[in-house]
Chains A and B, each alone.
Chain A
Amino acid sequence: MTERHRVTLTVNGTEHVVQVEPRRTLVDVLRHDLGYTGTHVGCEQGVCGSCTVLLDGEPVRSCLLFGVQAEAADVRTVEGLGDQEHLSPLQEIFSSSHALQCGFCTPGFLMLATAFLRDHPSPSDDEIREAMSSNLCRCTGYQNILRAVRRAADAVADPSTEP
């Protein structure tokens, strides 16, 4: 039987220590060992992007990482963006744009969009579409997700346009 490894990682600013077997994926560690159930599992093969988190600032598919690979990493999940009483501007815009229906893919899109908007403050519509093509949604047909990211980008550029 393989040994467990001790892994220290920071999630949304809080340090955690876990003991995990090497094959335990980062998404399973986050969800089941640390209780951050906002990140979801949709395919376990790195295609749907529901498991997207930020690792040391970069968007990654947490189903394609083992927990042991996240030693000393700074992880950000959807729980770090806002809470029900204080939605972040991006979360507000997703809601006012009706960019979510069942909500299962939503945390992945929020983390993807967070990284994208940070790295592309003035994106074109094509750039938004290309970046958002990273993740799958089955409910929305993507229309309102693209609209929301467009509005979020415009709001950063001109805060007076914020809803």
Chain B
Amino acid sequence: MKPASFAYHRAASVGEALELLAREGEDAKVIAGGQSLVPLMAFRLARPSALIDINRIAELRYVRRDGDALQIGALATHRDIETNAEPGVLDGYSILPRAARFIGHYPIRTRGTFGGSIAHADPTSEWCMLALLLDAEIVATGEQGSRTVAASDFFRGVFTTALDVDEVVTEVRFPAPAPRSAIREFARRQGDFAVVAVATALEVEDGGVRSARIALAGVSDAPVRATEAEAMLAGATPGEVAFDEAGRAAAAGLRPPSDIHGSSDYRKELAAALVRRALGDAVRADG
């Protein structure tokens, strides 16, 4: 399981990385943590002609607060988010470090990066699902400059995003905190890719649901928002009945894939159950 040959360049800056990408051509790939890319290369399912290593570009590794907004540099590792203890930075965003614990295992989280997950766009990815849930914006940088893409436009299909072949993700921005949020995931073993994962964020006022956001991963070729279920919850009384209905509604519209870890119908069942449970968790969440 040895990869095919490739040329290797290390970039010291974003500008240099973009230059190298352009020079090496469309079969070149950017590598950051490599935790998703290298296994694919070991099986020779990915055969880049060149790797542009951006992992040492220090200015891309940060987790910052800007008022309500949270800015995550593309090279922040999963572990950076899981263990961030800087006062105030993750207030209202604790869903993120909680989600980090579902991503592989500890030694994968020391290398794997937030931006890497976003750019890789695995349909079961927790970060992609949370980006969609919390209406994040992805900053894509090319030689011409940077542009911002809403998460709802960014994830186009399996391993397919709105990134042009000569762009890299440099930052992901979350506009507002979501203190009442929760994540639930079903995987066969600890650390496995999710069969189905669900994340929810609620706004509750005067004992009623003001708004609800529900995102699912593993149920399509990209993360999805359960917009019908969300609409159904607006104004509803939080509780088993409403959450059960919302779960069913979220599952009803789905046509998930089938594989050896679960059929399409099973994934729908899981979706309904996990949405119901995650809504219950979100009501009780605080930060």
Contacts and interface: CB of A to CB of B under 8 A. Distances in A.
Nearest to B192: A47
A65 B106 contact: no
A71 B12 CA distance: 13
B30 to A, nearest CB: 13
B53 A69 contact: yes
A61 B107 contact: yes
B106 A2 contact: no
Contact of B42 (A45, A59, A60): A45
Contacts of A52: 107
Interface in B79-136: 79, 101, 105-108, 110-111
B52 to A, nearest CB: 11
A44 B42 contact: yes
B110 A46 contact: no
B5 A23 contact: yes
B260 interface: no
A59 B10 CA distance: 22
Contacts, number: 88
B10 A2 contact: no
B191 A69 contact: no
A5 B8 contact: yes
Interface in A25-64: 25, 44-46, 49, 52, 58-61, 63-64
A102 interface: no
B3 interface: yes
Interface stretch (B31-39, B61-69, B166-174): B31-39
A74 interface: no
Contacts of B8: 2, 5, 22, 66, 68
B194 interface: no
By secondary structure, the B interface counts as loop
A46 B38 CA distance: 9
Interface string A105-144: 0000000100110000000000000110111000000000
B55 interface: yes
B106 A45 contact: no
A22 B7 contact: yes
B120 to A, nearest CB: 14
A44 B55 contact: no
10 contacts: A2-B7, A3-B7, A22-B6, A44-B1, A45-B1, A58-B79, A60-B107, A61-B107, A61-B111, A69-B31
B188 interface: no
Contacts of B42: 44-45, 63
Contact of A46 (B7, B10, B39, B101): B39
Given A22-B51, A63-B38, 13 more contacts: A23-B5, A45-B1, A45-B42, A58-B110, A59-B110, A61-B107, A61-B111, A66-B38, A66-B51, A68-B8, A115-B107, A130-B190, A134-B108
Contact of B6 (A2, A25, A45, A133): A2
Contact of B111 (A1, A45, A60): A60
Contacts of A71: 10
Nearest to B105: A134
B190 A133 contact: yes
Interface string B1-30: 111111110100000000000000000000
B159 interface: no
Contacts of A2: 5-8
A5 B191 CA distance: 34
A5 B50 CA distance: 14
